């Protein structure tokens, strides 16, 4: 069930049987010359949507702008300051808890969000600890590529040069979600360099087309469908188990 397409009586009825909700969370940032800017939000969104349909799980709106300051050297990229994102996540948590959700599962699609989401969780729990009250809800963060079996599928499809940013795997997932958005671009170099970076200017200087270690020229919707299928099955199992704790 999608929160956005449900009525409030339907949400109340859902809460009679389950207190769990999945929140897809990602970013809006460049993903190389053939990747969609919404890649890191689209991947968890499509996986959560299919898992929600398959497992009867509530799926909330996608938190689609994250911490991505280092991508601002590329047109279209957007970012939140960590402090802004922490505050927004806590407002989402408080709103959902007010209605009775006590298991909130964040499915993340952007590595740059991890530290900030964990800090938001610490902030949320701290308010209960400081008041000497037991927190009535539990929060969970899972990166979609860490779902059981998903990386095995990705590695079997792209055994070399999947990379760490603008990966062939994640771009395939977006092509599955949006087949009309497929883009054919010649990569130069074919496999992007690897390394570290600091701010947006440094990133753009070191990685001219935005990729890191990847060759996403082989990304296809058909390959993305296989990755989403593995993620859907794992997410139904893992989220369902978390909701019952």
* Alpha-carbon distances of 243 from 22, 43, 128, 149, 226, rounded to whole Å: 10, 22, 21, 21, 26
- Dump pLDDT digits (tens) for 55-82: 999 999 999 999 999 999 999 999 999 9
- Dump pLDDT digits (tens) for 177-203: 999 999 999 999 999 999 999 999 999
- For residue 13, give the CATH number of its domain: 3.40.50.10310
Position 245 pLDDT exceeds 90: no
Tally of domains in the chain: 1
E runs forming strands in 122-216: 138-143
Say which residue the tokens 């505050």 belong to. 87
Q: 209 near 32, Cβ under 8 Å?
A: yes
Position 23 pLDDT exceeds 90: yes
- Dump pLDDT digits (tens) for 133-165: 999 999 999 999 999 999 999 999 999 999 999
Structure tokens belonging to residue 54: 């398959």
What CA–CA distance (Å, rounded) separates 18 from 129?
26
Domain assignment of residue 54, given as a range: 3-244
Please give the model's pTM, rounded to 2 decimal places: 0.97
* Alpha-carbon distances of 35 from 63, 65, 131, 157, 182, rounded to whole Å: 19, 16, 46, 18, 8
Does 189 sit behind a cis peptide bond, omega within 30 degrees of 0 on the bond before it?
A: yes
């Amino acid at each position: 069930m999608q929160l956005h397409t449900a009525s409030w009586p339907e949400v109340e009825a859902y809460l009679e049987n389950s207190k769990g909700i999945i929140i897809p969370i990602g970013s809006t940032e460049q993903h190389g010359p053939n990747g969609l800017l919404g890649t890191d939000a689209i991947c968890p969104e499509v996986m959560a949507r299919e898992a929600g349909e398959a497992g009867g799980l509530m799926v909330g709106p996608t938190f689609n702008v994250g911490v991505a300051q280092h991508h601002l050297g590329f047109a279209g990229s957007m970012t939140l300051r960590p402090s802004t994102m922490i505050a927004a996540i806590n407002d989402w948590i408080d709103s959902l808890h007010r209605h009775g959700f006590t298991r909130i599962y964040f499915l993340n699609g952007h590595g740059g969000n991890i530290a900030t989401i964990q800090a938001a969780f610490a902030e949320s729990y701290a308010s209960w600890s400081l008041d000497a009250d037991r927190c009535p809800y539990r929060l969970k963060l899972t990166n979609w590529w860490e779902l059981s079996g998903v990386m095995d599928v990705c590695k079997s499809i792209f055994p070399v040069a999947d990379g760490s940013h603008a990966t062939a795997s994640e771009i395939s997932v977006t092509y599955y979600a949006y087949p009309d958005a497929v883009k054919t671009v010649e990569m130069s170099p074919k496999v992007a360099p690897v390394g570290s970076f600091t701010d947006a200017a440094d990133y753009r200087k070191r990685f001219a087309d935005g990729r890191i270690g990847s060759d996403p020229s082989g990304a296809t919707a058909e390959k993305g469908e296989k990755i989403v299928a593995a993620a859907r099955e794992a997410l139904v199992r893992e989220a369902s188990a978390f909701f019952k704790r």
